A and B are shown apart, each in its own frame.
Chain A
Amino acid sequence: QGQSPPYEAECVEGKYPPPSSRRVKEYVVNLDLPGKERWKHVAAEKKQEIKNILASFKKYIYDFGGIAAEIWYLIDLLGPAIVDVLPQPFQDEIRGISDVTGIEIGEVTLYNIFYEIFTV
């Protein structure tokens, strides 16, 4: 399929606008609300999508086996303590998302600091 690297550029034209089905929906986040309330509507509507991402990530971690699976156990176990070290209002926002989605708070925290974990 396709080329081997290094890749040759294929400069396409006339791709804009794409079909409207690919346009991303907009939500308002009210910063006047307390942190725990701000994401309620977004988290409620996208609950399953967030769960799917984390379930897939969990599977990926478990595939490493051994100690990797223990790490996930620790994330769930220590979740409430981990979120406590984050700055505000992020602590409360993450707690609010966890409440609405029913996802363990440690897992929502991990999702939010994923960049730092992943850059290694």
Chain B
Amino acid sequence: CTSIVAQDSNGTLYHARNLDFGLFMGWDPKNRTWEITELLRPAIVNLDFQRGGKTVFKSVNYAGYVGILTAISPGKFTLTMNERFTLDGGYIGIINLILTGKGTWMGFLTRATMEKAESFKEARAMLTSTQMIAPAYFILAGNTSGQACVITRNREVNGTDTWWMKEAGGWYVLETNYDHWSKPLFVDDRRTPANKCMKKLTQKGVGIPGIFDVLSSRPVLNKLTTYTALMQVNQGHLETWLQYCPDPCFPW
């Protein structure tokens, strides 16, 4: 996955992401595609969660999945989640849940955040202070310039890291599937190409079309990419496009 929050020259925030999924789950050598990735695309839906006939939040989901991976609370904040791989991962969290009853499922935490949080600050508090079953990256942005960060979560609350946009380079923050203080695995480095494309785009080019181009650039776009979602919080805008990566294209 690749998530980007960028701010244009006027301070308007845009939040976008590629959702990549299906690595090692059935490679089709004839069509050069991942089986699960191909099956996930037709299941993608945009959802408008309403209460009293009014939108509470909007999200992008795979049908049948009730948690949240990509969402916008119009006028308030935007959230994406990227997978974090660590040895202290989900199985240990599940065993811990069984033994101690402690831990929250990632998708349910993000869903609760979207339903309950009234602001960027409240969302950040929920995402940083809840014990989880598995580690994760939360990319969170608010409604005013500079209000964007990557939250790197362990299962425990201890060790939570918040990396703000101003520390990341000033006008954008970008997260793939590696801790921002570590180098990505050299065979899976989407961060360097994405940064290169953001720098080529420049702050003047920030907007829905410019960020879509960055997320459509290989290997940020790859054979695992199912969709690109683009959000602008102040307008309450969310749009999602199915993504395909014709050859020559990287398998991940």
Q: Is the interface of B mostly helix, strand, loop or mixed?
A: mixed
On whether the beta carbons of A119 and B134 are closer than 8 Å, the reply is yes
On whether the beta carbons of A24 and B44 are closer than 8 Å, the reply is yes
On whether the beta carbons of A29 and B47 are closer than 8 Å, the reply is yes
Chain B contributes a number of interface residues (CB within 8 A of A) equal to 78
On whether the beta carbons of A27 and B106 are closer than 8 Å, the reply is no
On whether the beta carbons of B66 and A112 are closer than 8 Å, the reply is yes
- Name the distance in Å between A68's Cβ and chain B's nearest Cβ: 13
**Cβ contact of A16, chosen from B40, B209, B219, cutoff 8 A:** B209
Interface size range of chain A in the complex: 35 or more
Question: Which of B84-92, B119-127, B139-147 lies on the face that meets chain A?
Answer: B84-92
Number of inter-chain CB pairs below 8 Å:
203
Tell me whether B163 is interfacial, beta carbon within 8 Å: no
A56 and B190 alpha carbons, distance in the complex (Å): 27
Tell me whether B133 is interfacial, beta carbon within 8 Å: yes
On whether the beta carbons of A115 and B212 are closer than 8 Å, the reply is no
Tell me whether A67 is interfacial, beta carbon within 8 Å: no
- Name the distance in Å between A55's Cβ and chain B's nearest Cβ: 9
Tell me whether B45 is interfacial, beta carbon within 8 Å: yes
On whether the beta carbons of A115 and B250 are closer than 8 Å, the reply is no
Tell me whether B218 is interfacial, beta carbon within 8 Å: yes
On whether the beta carbons of A15 and B216 are closer than 8 Å, the reply is yes
On whether the beta carbons of B66 and A31 are closer than 8 Å, the reply is no
Q: In the complex, which residues of chain B have a beta carbon less than 8 angstroms from the beta carbon of A29?
A: 47-50
Question: Which of B7-15, B72-80, B164-172, B238-246 lies on the face that meets chain A?
Answer: B238-246
What is the interface of chain B, defined by CB distance below 8 A to chain A? 25-26, 32, 35-36, 39-40, 42-52, 56, 58, 60, 62-67, 83-86, 89-91, 93-94, 105-108, 111, 115, 133-136, 186-190, 192-194, 196-197, 200-201, 208-209, 212-214, 216-220, 227, 239-243, 247-250
Q: List 9 A-B contacts (CB under 8 A).
A: A6-B192, A10-B218, A14-B213, A24-B46, A46-B42, A86-B108, A115-B106, A117-B90, A119-B84
Known contacts A3-B250, A11-B217; 5 further A-B pairs (Cβ under 8 A)? A2-B249, A9-B220, A23-B239, A26-B48, A90-B108
What is the interface of chain A, defined by CB distance below 8 A to chain B? 1-3, 5-18, 22-32, 39, 42-43, 45-46, 49-50, 52-53, 56-57, 59-60, 86-87, 90, 93-94, 97, 101, 108, 111-120
